């Protein structure tokens, strides 16, 4: 009595996801290219700190929607999955929150994902020097 079952279902998935890629670099521009198997979102040049590219989508019927991005600054790059299907855990969903807002920020030392419930940017990927 009074115990919380560890088998509780995770909260329902948001009906729509909003993904942001933000230039958080001190003095550099950021090139962004994101795509899924079905949608190439094109190339975007974010000149100034605070500039962002964003898109939104509904997960496909099978729950297999996957987006990846390549971010490039003058001296380094990184490629990573910016949205992926979660079946065994809810790491990404926990961070994007109930509204389905995933904010990736390119900073001088790497790529961060905002933990929406705590409003903290968490380091996820480091830059690869060119």
pLDDT digit of tens for each residue in the chain (130 aa)? 455 555 566 666 778 999 999 999 999 999 999 999 999 999 999 999 999 999 999 988 888 899 999 999 999 999 999 999 887 788 999 999 988 999 999 999 999 999 999 999 999 999 999 9
Q: Is residue 35 part of a domain?
A: yes
Q: Is 8 a domain residue? A: no
Closest by CA position to 44, among listed 77, 22, 17: 22
Q: What is the pLDDT of residue 62?
A: 86
10: in domain? no
**Cα angle 100-105-110, degrees, rounded to a multiple of 5:** 130
Residue 79 lies in a domain: yes
Q: Whole domain around residue 86: which residue ranges? A: 17-129
Domain membership flag for residue 22 = yes
Retrieve residue 97's tokens: 């929150």
Residue 11 lies in a domain: no
Say if strands 30-36 and 40-46 run parallel, antiparallel, or are unpaired. antiparallel
């Amino acid at each position: 009595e009074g115990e919380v079952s560890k088998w509780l279902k995770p909260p329902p998935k948001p009906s729509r996801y909003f993904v942001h890629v933000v230039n958080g670099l001190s003095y550099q521009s950021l090139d962004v290219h994101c795509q899924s198997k079905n949608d190439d979102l094109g190339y975007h040049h974010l000149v100034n700190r605070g500039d962002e590219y964003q898109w939104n989508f509904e997960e496909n019927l099978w729950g297999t929607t996957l987006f990846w991005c390549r971010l490039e600054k003058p001296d380094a790059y990184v490629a990573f999955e910016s949205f992926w299907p979660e079946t065994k855990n809810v790491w990404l969903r926990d961070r994007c929150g109930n509204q389905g807002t995933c904010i990736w920020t390119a900073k001088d030392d790497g790529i961060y994902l905002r933990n929406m419930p705590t409003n903290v940017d968490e380091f996820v990927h480091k830059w690869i020097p060119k």
